[in-house]
Amino acid sequence: MAEVKQWRGKTSGGKFGQKFLLTTLKYVRVTAFYPWLLLIIPFCLLFARKPNRALYRYFHDIRGYNRWKAFRSTARNAHTFGKVVIDKFAIWAGRSDQFTIDLHGGEVIEEAVSSNKGIIIAGSHIGNFELLGACLKQDKKPINAIVFGGESRMLQQSRSDVFGQKNIKLIPVADDMSHLFAIKNALDTGEIVTILCDRIFGSPKKQTIKFIGHDADFPAGPFRLAALMDIPVFSAFVMKEKGRHYACDIVPIHSTGESEKDRMTSLVVNYAKSIEDKLKQYPEQWFNLYDFWNLETSKENQ
């Protein structure tokens, strides 16, 4: 049986590095750290071989870039990712006010927010999903953010304190799957659940579909729940632009079909299509730093 890809989203840097960034970014603008990336990125390109190899294959094998363009895009991806990570620490330090955000599609979610039904907002590992809370400024529904549960206690506490001020409750992914009950309860009570839906975590239930022309696995759980409960699903993207500016897009994900399975499948397909469309605009903001399409395994089996 093939190994199920797990949600591995632990933030690197060690306790000292994380504490330094959280403390410093309370008082210093993020742009003061950006120039340091020009010194750090070359070492990342040299020594972080596994994620860089996966990124190169994304650009070369999936997007069809030639070798030089794939290498150059891999380097640009690393540089942008470094900025996004610094921006995340600024958000966790309570300084989301440093960023300007253009919100597109906010009106499409207003009716759903005003209803009694729960809502699933499906994010992905492109752009900076952590800034979504700054986009969804509303007090009608509590927001439950599903997050990786393996972060350091200091980082988890900082995030919880900051997001708690924005009507956002963090639900860590747990090995005992207790987070599934928390998700179901939040949706039953008509609340918002935000969850990254482009990686399989905990459950082996998945849906294999064509994604940018190649087979890829997506988690079925959130979409199965949406189909079962007949609740609206939206894709949300917060994409890095120049300086401290972001563009946020909220896109409704429609379902079709008579059966629950058909509705679930259509949700997965349309969610993946929304990511494809966004990556056409921002191809270098793909931050799934592993062999997402199992290209290495496929080549070994040929």
| Mean pLDDT (whole number) for 45-52 | 90
State the residue range of the domain holding 214: 14-301
Query: In this structure, what are the phi and psi dihedrals at residue 281, rounded to the nearest 5 degrees?
Result: -85, -35
For residues 169 and 142, is the Cβ–Cβ distance under 8 A?
Answer: yes
Residue with tokens 């529904």: 141
Pairing of strands 245-253, 119-123: unpaired
Specify if 5 maps to a domain.
no
Residue 4, pLDDT > 60, answer no
* pTM for the structure as a whole: 0.90
Please write the tens of the pLDDT for every residue from 129-187. Answer: 999 988 887 778 999 999 876 555 777 777 777 787 778 888 888 777 778 889 999 99
Residue 220 lies in a domain: yes
Q: 143-147 and 192-196 as β-strands: parallel, antiparallel, unpaired?
A: parallel
H or E segment and range at residue 250: strand 245-253
The residues facing 210 across adjacent strands are 215
pLDDT at 260: 93
pLDDT value at residue 7: 40
Question: Tens digit of pLDDT for each residue in 210-263?
Answer: 999 999 999 999 999 999 999 999 999 999 999 999 999 999 999 999 899 999
Could you tell me if 212 and 62 are in contact, meaning their C-beta atoms sit under 8 angstroms apart?
Answer: yes
- The average pLDDT across 89-95 equals 92
User: How many domains is the chain partitioned into structurally?
Assistant: 1
Residue 47 is assigned to a structural domain of this protein: yes
Which of 167, 117, 168, 119 lies closest to 147, judged by CA?
Answer: 168
Task: Give me the percent of the chain exceeding a pLDDT of 70.
Answer: 89
Q: Is the pLDDT of residue 300 over 60?
A: no
DSSP code, position 3: P
61 occurs within a structural domain:
yes
Four-point Cα dihedral 200, 204, 207, 212, nearest 10: 40
Q: Which two tokens stand for residue 84?
A: 């996004």
In a domain, 104, yes or no: yes
Q: Is residue 1 part of a domain?
A: no
Mean pLDDT, all residues of the chain: 88
Q: By C-alpha distance, which of 231, 252, 217, 254 is closest to 183?
A: 231
Give Cα separations from 50 to 47, 55, 63, 84 (angstroms): 9, 9, 19, 20
pLDDT in tens, 249-299: 999 999 999 899 999 999 999 999 999 999 999 999 999 999 999 876 555
In a domain, 208, yes or no: yes
What is the rounded distance in angstroms from the CA atom of residue 78 to the CA atom of residue 280? 18
Higher pLDDT, 122 or 108: 122
The pLDDT-based confidence of 2 (bands split at 50, 70, 90) is very low
Q: How confident is the model at residue 14 (pLDDT cuts 50, 70, 90)?
A: low
Band (pLDDT 50/70/90 cuts) for residue 58 is very high
Within a domain: 4: no
| Pairing status of strand 206-211 against strand 214-219 | antiparallel
